[in-house]
Structure 1
Amino acid sequence: MLRFIRSLLLGGAALCAAPVLAEWHYAERAIMGTEVHLQLWHENASEAEYLIEKVMKEFHRLDNQLSPYKPESELSLVNRKAGKTAVNISDELLSLVDKSLWFSHLTDGAFDISYATLGKHYDFRNRKQADSALTDSLIEALNYRHLHLNKKSKTLRFGHSKTKIDLGGIAKGYAVDKAIQILEQAEVCCASVSAGGDARMLGDKRGEPWLVGIRHPREKSKSAAVIPLSDIAISTSGDYERFFIDEQQERIHHIFNPNTGKPADTAVGDSDKLISVSIIGPRGFDTDPLSTSVFVLGKKKGLALIDRLPQFEAVVIDSNKRLFFSQGLANPQ
């Protein structure tokens, strides 16, 4: 991976030849609880605008289907009914839950969409969190093993009446993949799509790599690293995205440890604690859940996981603000 990145910096073969009169087209919209950014290269302004609207419409469609905050979304319907009976679900939701469960098994539960069982009781804007009594009463319901997915009948049932799910750790990565698919089908050569901490690049940036900054987790205006990328996805999870500082001066953030039912803090010890994780790989559908998983697992177990997975690399920042890399980046062959 690092050798690939270096070859780009040294002027590797251009993936995108610029046609006459072509130019960059940009768009930014607030969707899925974040800012969606789109940049594409096209020779026809009206066609570019059509594609921009098509991509944004897809983001809105997914938001309407998968948002836990929209009462009429399919996800909300499942959360209301699946604790009582098996619920028929769409092929799309089946695919997302199936992939989520695959990552749950891979990570021994570090990735678990049933975190919403307790996560729904946190309000970061109003600095509210579940107290110990509520956490103790719901922790048994927070377990991916309660999710009974029947792929043959296309149904989902919760084995515990109080279990809830949230696809916040995988839906945005999936959405950027869907956006890139739309642009690929339209034969767009070069584009970048991002939604919050998830991004995917189509091709390169007219013969140069896309320079993707990893935000410094404690200094908002700075980048901790800038990585040259082409035709690939990157997802970043950090404890600075949604958080507040409580009365004990502890950082309460949105990435939950399913074992405790609380925001992920220390996996093994203070030296293992991470405050930012970036995963690079072919699809956002995988890099998104992996960034959450590595954050929860901690530095040692998290990097060991990525080192076992072909095609994926990681850049992590620990609680002392030190950068560490997966083997493919630290020791290029």
Structure 2
Amino acid sequence: MTRVFQYLLLCCALLPYATPSLAEWHYEKQAIMGTEVSVQLWHEDSQQAEQLIDQVMAEFRRLDDELSPFKPTSELSRVNREAAKGPVKISAELTALIDKSLWYSDLTGGAFDISFATLGKHYDFRNKQRADEQLTESLLEALNYRHLHLDKNTHTLRFGHEKTKIDLGGIAKGYAVDRAVAILKAAGVCCASVSAGGDSRMIGDKRGRPWLVGIRHPRDKSKNAAVIPLTDTAISTSGDYERYFIDDSNTRVHHIFNPATGKPADTTAGSSDKLISVSIIGPRGFDTDPLSTSVFVLGKEKGLALIDRLPGFEAVVIDSNRRLYFSRGLDNPQSANANP
């Protein structure tokens, strides 16, 4: 894997993405799952390409209908309404998602925890509202993945605390990207890129060249902190700039929660261990998505140590001092400056 990254480019200039002019490249983007979903693929038959893109977008919409915590008719919303009362029958797909989430909860010592919704649901980033200290203290006990009792044999889920809620925002998009890639691979597509917000996965290369994936500069959306050449892999990025607001005390309040505190993970300026952006590279979005959240919460030292223990995964992180750091498998210096 490391050969792929031998020419990882550090830059602060805007990466000039452009839709290829060749007729064989087909591109589409739509707003689904609360983000921008984009598909780019190589195909010699325009009609078949359009049909495949339609199938991919339909799959994203299906998953949004089932996994959105904001849609009352979704399976996830039904679970949040009923699981505290007793075991709830769930689909095999939701079982797999929750099982994987709990596996990462164990692996990370609770840094990844889908029960963050217990408090996360009380944050409204658009209207700059968050849970106050009293509400946070009253719900903190309910925010614990150990309250999630999953029976994989009977496909049932029960919450052990009456106030526990779950949200799959830290894993669902990566899973959806994998589902989209499976559709394209089954149709024989050789080269494609699928993205949903900060989660992307590539099939093959870009017709003889690697896909160039830009990691956004966390404090200037017009620039990239790094550009990474990738082939046939997945990458997920979590940052404190995706959904956030600045409160009256000039504190950045963002959407990545530390389950231990029930509050957004600390990004205090000047702390060398606190992170503001995490990108994880690996085989599947089903893993890179939860890992990017986990490393963000764990911080630079523990987060990079975790990635270094996992075969097949690499990381690029930016700390609150705007310096870049890399996991051991990347053939690059251990740090670089990400300041403008």
TM (normalized to structure 1)?
0.94
Please list every run of at least 4 consecutive aligned residues from structure 1 whose deviation after the TM superposition is greater than 4 angstroms.
none
Q: Is the contact made by 1:8 and 1:209 (CA closer than 8 Å) also made in structure 2?
A: no
Report the equivalent of 1:158. 159
Say whether residues 1:168 and 2:169 are aligned partners.
yes
Secondary structure at the counterpart of residue 329 of structure 1: coil
1:127 maps to 2:119: no
1:153 Cα deviation after fit: 1.0
Q: Distance between the aligned counterparts of 2:292 and 2:189, measured in 1?
A: 28
Correspondence for 2:279: 278
Matched, 1:204 2:205: yes
Q: Which residue of 2 aligns with 1:227?
A: 228
**Aligned residues of 2:271 and 2:321 also touching (Cα < 8 A):** no
Contact 1:8 1:208 in 2 (8 A): no
Please report how far the alpha carbon of residue 330 of structure 1 lies from its aligned counterpart in structure 2 after TM superposition: 4.5
Shift of 1:130: 0.1
- Asked whether the 8 Å contact 2:192–2:204 carries over to 1, the reply is yes
Match runs of 1:1-333 below 5 Å: 1-6=1-6, 23-265=24-266, 270-330=271-331
Correspondence for 2:336: none
Contact 1:190 1:203 in 2 (8 A): yes
The SS at the match of 2:6 is helix
Instruction: Give the letter for the 1:174 counterpart.
Output: Y
Deviation at 1:256, TM superposition (A): 0.1
Structure 2 partner of 1:12: none
CA–CA distance in 2 between the matches of 1:304 and 1:3?
21
CA distance in structure 2 between the aligned counterparts of 1:158 and 1:301, rounded to whole angstroms: 29
* Counterpart AA for 1:201: M
The 8 Å contact of residues 266 and 272 in structure 1, kept in 2 or not, is answered as no
Shift of 1:266: 5.3
Structure 1, residues 266-307: CA drift from partner, whole Å, max 9, x if none?
59x811000000000000000000000000000000000000
Distance 1:177 1:118 in 2: 29
Give distance in 1, aligned partners of 2:177 and 2:272. Answer: 33
Deviates more, 1:22-31 or 1:202-211: 22-31
Counterpart of 1:14?
none
Aligned to 1:157, the other structure's residue is in SS state: strand
Q: Is the 8 A contact 2:267 2:276 kept in 1?
A: no
Q: Distance between the aligned counterparts of 2:222 and 2:161, measured in 1?
A: 44
Q: Which residue of 2 aligns with 1:18?
A: none
The answer on whether the counterparts of 2:194 and 2:202 sit within 8 Å (CA) in structure 1 is yes
* Structure 2, gaps ≥5 residues long: 10-21, 334-340
Return the offset for 1:331: 6.2
Instruction: Answer whether contact 1:216 1:222 (CA < 8 A) is retained.
Output: yes
Q: Which residue of 1 aligns with 2:18?
A: none
SS class of match (1:272): coil
C-alpha RMSD of the superposition: 1.6
Query: What amino acid is aligned across from residue 161 of structure 1 in structure 2?
Result: E
| Cα offsets for 1:26-73 (capped at 9, x unmatched) | 000000000001000000000000000000000000000000000000
Distance 1:318 1:7 in 2: 22
Q: CA deviation at 1:198?
A: 0.2
**How far has the Cα of 1:152 moved from its partner?**
1.0
CA apart distance, 1:7: 8.2
CA deviation digits over 1:151-176, x for unaligned, max 9? 11110000000000000000000000
Deviations 1:106-164 (A, max 9, x none): 00000000000000000000000000000000000000000000011110000000000
In structure 2, C-alpha distance between the alignment counterparts of 1:300 and 1:79, rounded to whole Å: 35
